Chain A
């Protein structure tokens, strides 16, 4: 059965490493939903965090193929119960005078922050688990969403 997986890949910080990882996914036909790259405490390494919808067999393939790359130090699956997973959403919504306060009210419930406000629109910033972000976008679906951007998941093991 397919489900959302979060994978954390420690890679050597060399030129071309991201191309290798991304190229592998493309040519093996793995569909990646989100991918983030970040520095780590040790400047020789970077951390790639990615999410993808995979069943167990696909997961095994993706992990073992990725582990074969010379630049990959380790790859592991992260779970809700052993890791903190976070994503940032920036969402721009066109607002009229009437609906503005309603939107702020909903954002407050989700602990979202209004980071930009003009007469016609506002931008809300929201940090949280991907599920929370999904839920928020879902709830304000009937507002006039102009566009949004999500950073993709980043994660640290507990």
Chain B
């Protein structure tokens, strides 16, 4: 039987297991929406306030569920509004299939109304993209997009479909999903070599990145740590994979990482890098990163080898597969001297002070995560509040900490929280955001209210773009140029105007009362917490620095 291209698109999505779409209608996708009308009972469609929020929502959905996020936007401005969202997912290797409509084929290249070459524009922020100008290729293209997005290193893929393709009729014979590309193959000899490095090391440290999360290698990683008594540090992308409860896990490494984590890298004789890219927020100074150590690396992406830091030995492969092959070759050891060293490093970890009259960021974050338990999904925006959240969120399960790590996108949070809640209706979702980030995409509060998505948004209001101010404070002679936000914004009224419930608080007791009440509400809630403007994220190693440069106050 023949169907319109738009119906074929929807049918293929359904066949690929899609049950949730984040999209926004418009002229170039009106046929998709026309088709969707008949599938309302099979596909949940969430319409954001802005396409950027829609992509962040699809991204939050993907990060929290491990599924592919799907989003739709119309041609021209709808498509360009998606770009920051796509780039955010791209930098953190999140699988998305983004579908845009474009003008009809006879108008392509004519600067038609709302025509943008989104195919050209998104080439550098997608793993691959497609332009579909023939309805006969539509099903195959969609299936390829899902396969590419999830093969190897995951990533967004974009499909741009011309309007007349969606109106043309064609047969729909469902084909099977395409298999994922084969994972990179490695030799046993490579595994033996890795094992040799590890067995010979006295002071090894595991440096675990987002790849451990995407390959679901948490269990194998723990086995390696426990069998050979190897401590680990995690990046912001691995929060929850290694948890607070892992005795051997030191915690986050890098610019705002724990002293013990940074000291451990500094003093190690072997760094075991797993699924991580030695970003400039971790290997702050590539010349002095782990100065006395050999470095071995495992990554699914061959182009990560020797990209930022030159390593001594690298194996291209899926972290889980490599660790599984490696474990039997690893000698059981207790490495007591090294663990004693580490215990000493831990004594030098930063201890944040508490205050009852004006709540401190770590107090409120710790309180919330304690109240809501290990299933809580913590989402952040970007800035100081993001780093405090990373430091104190105490997640113990994978996919429970969602943050824009690679691109650092302010405005990511609200959309992502919506997506996380849609994907996990039974789990609590809390967004920690800042006054700057929140105002970037607060329009999505409307989405949460309209679609009855229960999220808790906690705004750490320091009346400033705190992270930038912190740099001005510490590194730019306190010249606070354009960072303070001296608005007299009433967040409670704002929440009410959107149809949500709002709270404002300052002391520990006020905060607790507001939080407890907020959890009794049905819809989304906003809690403004007034914090001190001069609060710093500590410790801090400035960009390009080493452990010698740690700032503690």
Complex Cα distance A15/B133, Å?
Answer: 12
The answer to whether the Cβ of A61 comes within 8 Å of any Cβ in the partner chain is yes
- In the complex, what residue of chain B is closest to A56 when comparing beta carbons? B306
B60-68, B118-126, B533-541 - interface stretch:
B118-126
A62-70, A109-117, A130-138, A149-157 - interface stretch:
A62-70
Complex Cα distance A15/B124, Å?
Answer: 16
Could you say which residues of chain B place their CB within 8 Å of the CB of A27?
A: 124
The answer to whether the Cβ of B246 comes within 8 Å of any Cβ in the partner chain is no
Q: Contact check, B127 vs A57: say whether CB atoms are below 8 A apart.
A: no
Question: How far does the Cβ of A29 sit from chain B's closest Cβ, in whole Å?
Answer: 12
The answer to whether the Cβ of A147 comes within 8 Å of any Cβ in the partner chain is no
Complex Cα distance A68/B127, Å?
Answer: 8
Q: Contact check, A19 vs B120: say whether CB atoms are below 8 A apart.
A: yes
1/0 per residue, CB under 8 A from B, across A15-29: the answer is 110011001000100
The answer to whether the Cβ of B301 comes within 8 Å of any Cβ in the partner chain is yes
Complex Cα distance A130/B148, Å?
Answer: 39
Q: Contact check, A60 vs B305: say whether CB atoms are below 8 A apart.
A: yes
Question: How far does the Cβ of A67 sit from chain B's closest Cβ, in whole Å?
Answer: 7
Complex Cα distance A118/B80, Å?
Answer: 55
| Known contacts A57-B310, A70-B128; is-contact A23 B123 (Cβ 8 Å) | yes
- Residue of A16, A57, A61, A64 near B119 (CB, 8 A) is A16
1/0 per residue, CB under 8 A from B, across A28-68: the answer is 00000000000000000000000000000100110011011
Complex Cα distance A16/B131, Å?
Answer: 10
1/0 per residue, CB under 8 A from A, across B505-544: the answer is 0000000000000000000000000000000000000000
1/0 per residue, CB under 8 A from B, across A61-101: the answer is 10011011110000000000000000000000000000000
Instruction: Count chain B CB atoms within 10 A of each CB in A23, A27, A64, A69 and give the residue with the most.
Output: A64
Could you say which residues of chain A place their CB within 8 Å of the CB of B124?
A: 23, 27
Question: How far does the Cβ of B297 sit from chain A's closest Cβ, in whole Å?
Answer: 13
- Residue of B120, B123, B131, B307 near A61 (CB, 8 A) is B307
Complex Cα distance A27/B305, Å?
Answer: 18
- Residue of A16, A57, A67 near B302 (CB, 8 A) is A67
Complex Cα distance A70/B303, Å?
Answer: 14
Q: Contact check, B303 vs A64: say whether CB atoms are below 8 A apart.
A: yes
Q: Contact check, A70 vs B305: say whether CB atoms are below 8 A apart.
A: no
Q: Contact check, B302 vs A20: say whether CB atoms are below 8 A apart.
A: no
Q: Contact check, A19 vs B303: say whether CB atoms are below 8 A apart.
A: no
Complex Cα distance A19/B120, Å?
Answer: 9
| Known contacts A20-B123, A57-B310; is-contact A64 B128 (Cβ 8 Å) | no
1/0 per residue, CB under 8 A from A, across B118-150: the answer is 011001100110010000000000000000100
| Known contacts A57-B310, A70-B128, A70-B148; is-contact A19 B305 (Cβ 8 Å) | no
Q: Contact check, B306 vs A57: say whether CB atoms are below 8 A apart.
A: yes
Complex Cα distance A147/B418, Å?
Answer: 62
Complex Cα distance A61/B310, Å?
Answer: 11
Could you say which residues of chain A place their CB within 8 Å of the CB of B302?
A: 64, 67-68
1/0 per residue, CB under 8 A from A, across B286-328: the answer is 0000000000000001110111001000000000000000000
- In the complex, what residue of chain B is closest to A28 when comparing beta carbons? B303
Complex Cα distance A23/B307, Å?
Answer: 18
Complex Cα distance A116/B305, Å?
Answer: 51
Complex Cα distance A131/B128, Å?
Answer: 38
Instruction: Count chain B CB atoms within 10 A of each CB in A15, A16, A67 and give the residue with the most.
Output: A16
Complex Cα distance A67/B316, Å?
Answer: 14
Could you say which residues of chain A place their CB within 8 Å of the CB of B307?
A: 61
Q: Contact check, A68 vs B303: say whether CB atoms are below 8 A apart.
A: yes
Question: How far does the Cβ of B179 sit from chain A's closest Cβ, in whole Å?
Answer: 15
- In the complex, what residue of chain B is closest to A60 when comparing beta carbons? B306
- Residue of A15, A16, A20, A61 near B303 (CB, 8 A) is A61
CB-CB nearest 7 A-B residue pairs = A64-B303, A64-B302, A70-B128, A65-B303, A57-B306, A27-B124, A23-B123
Given contacts A23-B124, A60-B305, A64-B303, 16 further A-B contacts (CB under 8 A): A16-B120, A16-B131, A19-B120, A19-B123, A23-B123, A57-B310, A61-B303, A61-B307, A64-B301, A64-B302, A65-B303, A67-B302, A67-B303, A68-B127, A68-B301, A70-B127
Show 20 A/B contacts (Cβ-Cβ < 8 Å), sorted by A.
A15-B131, A16-B119, A16-B120, A16-B131, A19-B123, A20-B123, A23-B123, A23-B124, A60-B306, A61-B303, A61-B307, A64-B301, A64-B302, A64-B303, A65-B303, A67-B302, A67-B303, A68-B302, A68-B303, A69-B128
